[in-house]
Amino acid sequence: MKPFYVMMMTAVVFAACQSSTDSTSPEAKDSTTVQYQQTWSTRFVGDFVSDGYVDRQKGADWYAVIIDQLQDSLYQISIRSRADKKKPSCTFDAKAIAKDATHLIANKDSLEIVFTFTDSTLTINTANDKADQLQYYCSGGGSIAGTYQRLNENLDTKTIDARKFIKAMHFQNIHCFIETKGEGSLQDLTMEIIGLNQPTIITQAIEGSITDAVMMDMDGDQLPEILLFQQSPGSGSYGTIMAYTITKQNKLEKVMVPGIEQDAVLGKNYMGHDRYETAKGRYLVHYFPKYQNGDANCCPTGGTKMIQYSLEQAKAAKRLHIDFVRDLPQQ
């Protein structure tokens, strides 16, 4: 029996050693994944310019693609053109998702737009290879399609279109134009609405940035609501909703929005990184990651909180009402 016992112990020790060598602890896997994502962002984030940039002093038109990381694999892409000698020729804003280490994908205006990266270049095209469809975002026959060079110096901000966020929205005979300007974390927001009893312009200073805006009829009264999504500066990227409604008297009024941080239940495990979507043309869906004790800002492990809002009439004004809350598992 002794030889057989020795053989069994040897097999157990060998299997244990092999398991120790081949397997990776959850902590190590998470660390590897995070490092890989950080490597991607190093390639994606930055300023990329068209060929005309080197001849800008001679009056050549040029575009810049400005890419910032919002959270994990989500990026903000803005394209601006020079605006000192002529009206801006190209304007584009979208969020994009990292597909792999060399591609970002943005879905905008029913187009799937592909951003392909090398160490020094960025190429923009549609997924169906129909670059002419990207002329929509430019005037005078221009297009955002093409190859841009990574800029290894500070972007020339003196001649470029200074608007950080630009969006035009329309609902029947009501038209809304939103833009922000400013440097750093302080921005100047301007929202102009045409189609009311009188033209309405709202201007205010905000801290952070406007990441998106939507216009939709949330309560079925054939009049739109306007929602602006604001993101705070810093690593937390805390989201805020600015909401307005058009009344039957054709006036603009604010909509009350419940706060997450002040809510004892919803605010638990909340550390920002908010994301917003619309559903069925009338609901707002709010997502944010849930943080467990000890989680780093980059790496929440508690899954995702999902909140759906509808619009209801309160005593004083309309407000966003929480329809339901769901906890989604960690992916």
Using CA atoms, how far apart are residues 306 and 248, in angstroms rounded to an integer?
A: 32
* CATH 1.10.10.10, applies to 163-328: no
Helix, strand, coil shares of the chain, percent, nearest 5, are 15, 45, 35
The token pair that represents 27 in the structure block: 């902590």
- Strands of the sheet containing 174-181, edge to edge, are 163-171, 174-181, 186-194, 200-207
SS (H, E, C) 204-262: EEEECEEEEEEEECCCCCCCCEEEEEEECCCCCCCEEEEEEEECCCCCEEECECCCCCC
pTM: 0.73
Lowest mean pLDDT among 8-12, 125-129, 143-147, 228-232: 8-12
User: What are 217-236's pLDDT values in tens digits?
Assistant: 999 999 999 999 999 987 77
**pLDDT recorded at residue 10:** 45
* Sole residue written with tokens 């201007």: 203
- CATH architecture label of 43-150: Beta Barrel (2.40)
Q: 206 pLDDT band (50/70/90 cuts)?
A: very high
Domain boundaries, the chain: 43-150, 163-328
